[in-house]
């Protein structure tokens, strides 16, 4: 089969097998939930089938490791795509296994919830894999619309509906902004294909410099909203606080990682020839995000809002590295972003799974409610402490290693001043993380008595804790994998 230009289209659907498995699993879960009485299935079958589908998708991804190329000039199958396929599938599995008790108690329409997580994972993967602007935009909307609904699914919590309304209204504006920016980019380059856009921009923009600049501004604004970068972040704290905790975890993990996968695809690929036009924008946003994210976090008293601003500040660190992309140092810098992204996701999942199990026991989410946790559940207090220290970048944990790699790459690209801002901002973050740790260790519990996590709680926190420490002590294998993945996104 050929396109309108006579190019032969590769229609090997087996290349899309992981996403096909996820989509079919979503349909199966919805069917089981809709006919649970007739089929005599209970709640436990829904997370089981969902995880089974994720395992099948992961196996299919591993079986396709040696397959390279593209599907219909729309989806690129390379090391970068494989990296994010496994990352997003793993994150979804951790969410379901680590929080399925919470979902049963506090989430309405559980079948739809699991289906939305699976379908949003498909959207996230295609954001990383797209090689065409329209394909990427559709993937963004698949992820976004799934999350709009998921945010609203908390039982008996009026904050959930309010958060979803704010999210969908501002998300619609951001999507329109992004689409308008892509239309201007198409007008400048004459194509929606990444490789052809790169060639057009490398040849010079001539009389279309202003449309290109306006298009870049709109694209940066649209992506800034999806990543919750300052000044496009105002929806994030409300969405985080109102959403069910597993959705908050998903927003801080997969949603941000998918956005940065797309950012790297675009700014290291088709938009790299125009680096002088967009680098200053990202530098300004990175500084504002690091500074404001950390300073406002100092004032928070709700653990979900604190983690929202913590997540915003992490976006600033990664944008700092994207700013430093250049043809000669881009692979190292992109690899550093991927390394930090994995370290951040593992650490954030440790913290959120711990908070979810704390909420399962107490029903509370204020920072002051964590007082005395070291006495009532020493294991959970230790896990949360290690996770918070890792987010702050303390040695021997993932956060230290990944931030070191990130800051080193940015400094090597002659952006030392950005690194200085990042180090100072990271130091400030230690204060508000210590506020949570202080509550756990220096105060008596409100309700004395020991309690334990569920079996899945110990499983997920234990595995994540292991990887968090392993990355911090021996991160070389991760760096090598990330470097190989980053090399695939640059046009030679």
Residue 384 has pLDDT above 70, yes or no: yes
Region 187-216 average pLDDT: 86
Asked whether the beta carbons of 104 and 117 are under 8 A apart, the reply is: no
What are 107's strand-pairing partners? 154
| Structural domain boundaries enclosing 425 | 13-487
pLDDT at residue 447 in the model: 79
Predicted confidence at residue 154, as pLDDT, reads 86
Q: Are 229 and 319 in contact (CB under 8 A)?
A: yes
CA quadruple 17, 19, 21, 23: dihedral, nearest 10: -140
In-domain check, residue 245: yes
Q: What are the tens digits of pLDDT across the range 461-487? A: 999 999 999 999 998 899 999 999 998
71, β-bridge pairs: 75
Within 10 Å of residue 224's Cβ, how many Cβ atoms?
Answer: 25
Token pair of 316 as six digits: 């600033």
Question: Is 492 inside any structural domain?
Answer: no
- The lowest-confidence range among 75-89, 169-183, 203-217, 219-233 is 203-217
- In order of 49, 411, 484, the CA distances from 480 in angstroms are 33, 20, 6
Mean pLDDT, range 413-421, rounded to an integer? 92
CB neighbour list of residue 239: distance below 8 Å, 6 or more residues apart: 151, 163, 164, 166, 167, 248, 251, 308
Phi/psi for 75 (5° steps) reads -120, 130
Tell the burial category of 153 from Cβ atoms under 10 Å away from its Cβ (0-12, 13-18, 19+): buried
Q: Does residue 450 sit within a domain?
A: yes
State whether residue 148 is helix, strand or coil: helix
Residue 242 has pLDDT above 70, yes or no: yes
Q: State how far the alpha carbon of 177 is from the alpha carbons of 215, 251, 278, 283, 409, in Å.
A: 9, 21, 16, 20, 31
Question: Once rounded to an integer, what is the mean pLDDT over residues 84-98?
Answer: 95
* pLDDT score recorded for residue 2: 58
Is residue 33 in a domain?
Answer: yes
Question: Considering the chain, what percentage of its residues have pLDDT values greater than 70?
Answer: 97
- Mean pLDDT score, 46-74: 91
Q: Is the pLDDT of residue 8 over 80?
A: no
Q: Is residue 1 part of a domain?
A: no
Determine the length of the chain: 492
- Taking 60 as the threshold, does the pLDDT of residue 88 lie above it? yes
pLDDT digits (tens, 9 = 90+) for 279-304: 999 999 999 999 999 999 999 999 99
First to last CA, the chain: 27
195 Cβ neighbours under 8 A, 6+ residues apart: 131, 270, 491
Q: Which pLDDT score, from 0 to 100, does residue 448 have?
A: 81
Q: Quickly state the pLDDT bin for 6 (edges 50, 70, 90).
A: low
Burial 91-102 (b: 16+ CB within 10 A, else e): bbbbbbbbbbbb
pLDDT of residue 5: 54
Averaged pLDDT of the chain:
90
Q: Is residue 376 part of a domain?
A: yes
- Contact (Cβ atoms closer than 8 angstroms) between residue 305 and residue 390: no
Residues 282, 170, 130, CA angle at the centre, nearest 5°?
60
For the chain, the helix, strand and coil percentages under 3-state DSSP, each to the nearest 5: 80, 5, 20
Residue 6 covered by a domain:
no
- Return d(Cα 365, Cα 270) in angstroms, integer: 43
CA distance 366 to 83: 36
Confidence of residue 36 (pLDDT cuts 50, 70, 90): confident
Range in 57-61, 73-77, 160-164, 357-361 the model is least confident about: 160-164
Predicted confidence at residue 49, as pLDDT, reads 94
Q: Are 378 and 450 contacting, i.e. CB atoms less than 8 angstroms apart?
A: no
Query: pLDDT value at position 255?
Result: 92
Closest to 75 (Cα-Cα) out of 152, 18, 24, 149? 18
Q: Cβ(182)–Cβ(133) under 8 Å?
A: yes
Give the pLDDT confidence score for residue 42 in this predicted structure: 81
User: 3-state secondary structure string, 81-104?
Assistant: HHHHHHHHHHHHHHHHHHHHHHHH
- At 206 the pLDDT is 62
Q: Tokens 């909307």 map to which residue?
A: 141
Phi, psi of 132 (to 5 degrees): -140, 140
Is residue 4 in some structural domain?
no
CA distance 124 to 87: 10
* Tokens found for residue 120: 């949003």
Mean pLDDT of 46-73: 91
CA dihedral 448, 454, 455, 460 (to 10 degrees): -100
CA pseudo-torsion sign 97, 121, 152, 251? positive
Residue 43's pLDDT band, with cuts at 50, 70 and 90, is confident
Q: Is 414 left (phi over 0), alpha (psi -120 to 50) or beta?
A: left
The predicted pLDDT at position 439 comes to 94
For residue 231, say if its preceding peptide bond is cis, omega within 30 degrees of 0.
yes
Of 400, 96, 29, 125, the residue nearest 250 (C-alpha): 96
In whole angstroms, give the CA distance from residue 314 to residue 253.
11
Number of domains the chain is built from: 1
Pairing of strands 75-77, 69-71: antiparallel
């Amino acid at each position: 089969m050929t396109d309108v230009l006579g190019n032969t289209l590769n229609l090997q659907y087996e290349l899309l097998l992981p996403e096909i498995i996820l989509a079919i699993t979503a349909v199966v879960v919805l069917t089981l939930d809709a006919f649970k009485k007739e089929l005599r299935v209970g709640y436990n079958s829904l997370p089981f089938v969902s995880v089974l589908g994720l395992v099948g998708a992961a196996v299919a991804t591993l079986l396709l490791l040696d397959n390279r190329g593209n599907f219909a000039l729309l989806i690129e199958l390379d090391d970068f795509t494989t990296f994010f396929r496994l990352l997003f599938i793993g994150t979804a599995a951790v969410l379901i296994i680590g929080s399925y008790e919470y979902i049963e108690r506090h989430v309405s329409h559980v079948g739809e919830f699991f289906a939305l997580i699976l379908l949003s994972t498909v959207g996230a993967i295609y954001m990383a894999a797209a090689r065409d602007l329209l394909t990427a935009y559709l993937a963004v909307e698949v992820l976004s619309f799934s999350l709009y609904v998921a945010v609203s699914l908390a039982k008996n919590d009026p904050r959930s509906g309010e958060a979803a309304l704010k999210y969908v209204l501002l998300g619609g504006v951001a999507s329109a902004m992004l689409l308008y920016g892509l239309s201007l980019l198409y007008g400048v380059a004459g194509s929606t294909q990444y490789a052809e856009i790169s060639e057009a921009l490398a040849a010079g923009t001539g009389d279309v410099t202003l449309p290109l600049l306006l298009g870049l501004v709109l694209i940066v604004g649209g992506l800034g909203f999806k990543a919750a970068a300052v000044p496009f972040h105002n929806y994030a704290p409300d969405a985080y606080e109102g959403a069910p905790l597993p959705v908050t975890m998903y927003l801080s993990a997969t949603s941000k990682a998918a956005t940065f996968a797309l950012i790297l695809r675009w700014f290291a690929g088709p938009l790299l020839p125009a680096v002088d036009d967009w680098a200053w924008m990202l530098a300004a946003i990175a500084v504002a995000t690091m500074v404001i994210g950390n300073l406002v976090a100092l004032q928070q008293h709700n653990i979900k809002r604190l983690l929202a601003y913590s997540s915003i500040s992490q976006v600033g660190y990664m944008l700092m590295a994207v700013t430093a992309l250049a043809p000669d140092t881009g692979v190292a810098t992109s690899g550093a972003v991927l390394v930090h992204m994995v370290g951040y996701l593992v650490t954030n999942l440790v913290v959120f799974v711990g908070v979810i199990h704390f909420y399962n026991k107490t029903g509370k989410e204020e920072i002051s409610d964590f007082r005395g946790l070291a006495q009532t559940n020493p294991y959970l207090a230790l896990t949360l402490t290690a996770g918070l220290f890792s987010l702050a970048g303390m040695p021997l944990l993932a956060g230290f290693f990944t931030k070191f790699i990130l800051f080193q790459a940015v400094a090597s690209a002659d952006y030392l001043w950005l690194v200085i801002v990042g180090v100072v901002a990271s130091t400030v973050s230690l204060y508000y993380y210590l506020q949570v740790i202080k509550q756990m260790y220096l105060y008596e519990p409100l309700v004395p008595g020991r309690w334990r996590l569920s079996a899945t709680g110990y499983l997920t926190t234990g595995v994540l804790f292991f990887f968090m420490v392993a990355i911090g002590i021996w991160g070389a294998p991760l760096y090598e994998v990330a470097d190989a993945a980053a090399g695939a996104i640059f046009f030679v």
